[in-house]
Amino acid sequence: MIKKILIVVAVAIAGLLVYAATQPDTFRVERTILVKAPPERIYPLIADFRQWTRWSPYEKLDPALKRTYSGAGSGMGAIYAWDGNKDIGAGRMEIDETTPPSRIRIKLDFFRPFEARNIAEFTMTPEGDATRLGWAMHGPANYLSKLMGTLFDMDQMIGKDFETGLGTLKSLACHPRGEPAGPAGRLRRLPYLKARGSRDEEVPLPGLLRRGEVRRAEPRGHGGPGQPVPTPRRGPARHRPHDLCRVAVGTA
């Protein structure tokens, strides 16, 4: 019985190895997103490797990541090398082609935990008053890559990271001044009433102010016996439209 099981396992492994060898010799992973911002606002966030700490999901994998910047400050000839833990490994990127502000091509070399030579591309294509932002990676698929592709959904694994990065880029481009996303935009502090001849009372307003913010009201009775303290009214929220800042990421 054990011998039969071992034979079945051996045949299954052999079949998997043969199947992996028949897979395509190249791969490509791509995701896109629609951003309500011009390409000129998105391009600098990608062309300057120092900006990647603001949006790339890979920058968060190792808090002690060692980064080295060289070459041009941004754009053509900019170089970024990294060396980190087992989650991020080590590698090097160099921008070798640019068409400002619509395209950036990056030569991507991995040294650890495995060696690979790939190409990353970012495209920014105007669509009406918005921009179609794309992030793609492609390159040769060696036998190890083919074997891994038969065991794991590499498009899903890598694509998920691309979706996260594109979503953060969208937020940065839609809110260049650091404004929070959402229809209400930035909240304003409400006016306050100052008590005369006595200490102010702090009255929290959950849901209307940011955490930690308070407004001040007078002690009960100010303005005459039995007179209620007038409460400042808050007008309708002023906001800027961010409709396309909520468009979902999609596959190319």
3-class secondary structure, 239: coil
Read off the pLDDT of residues 42-95 as tens digits, 9 standing for 90 and up. Answer: 999 999 999 999 999 999 999 999 999 999 999 999 999 999 999 999 999 999
Please tell me the class of the 19-176 domain: alpha beta
- Check whether 177 has a pLDDT greater than 50: yes
* Predicted confidence band of residue 5 (pLDDT cuts 50, 70, 90): confident
- Check whether 242 has a pLDDT greater than 50: no
Task: Tell me if the pTM is above 0.85.
Answer: no
Cβ neighbours around 96 below 10 Å, total = 13
* Predicted confidence band of residue 249 (pLDDT cuts 50, 70, 90): low
Q: Which tokens belong to 203?
A: 């009255």
**Structural contact between residues 157 and 34, judged by C-beta atoms closer than 8 angstroms:** no
- Helix H or strand E encompassing 123: strand 116-127
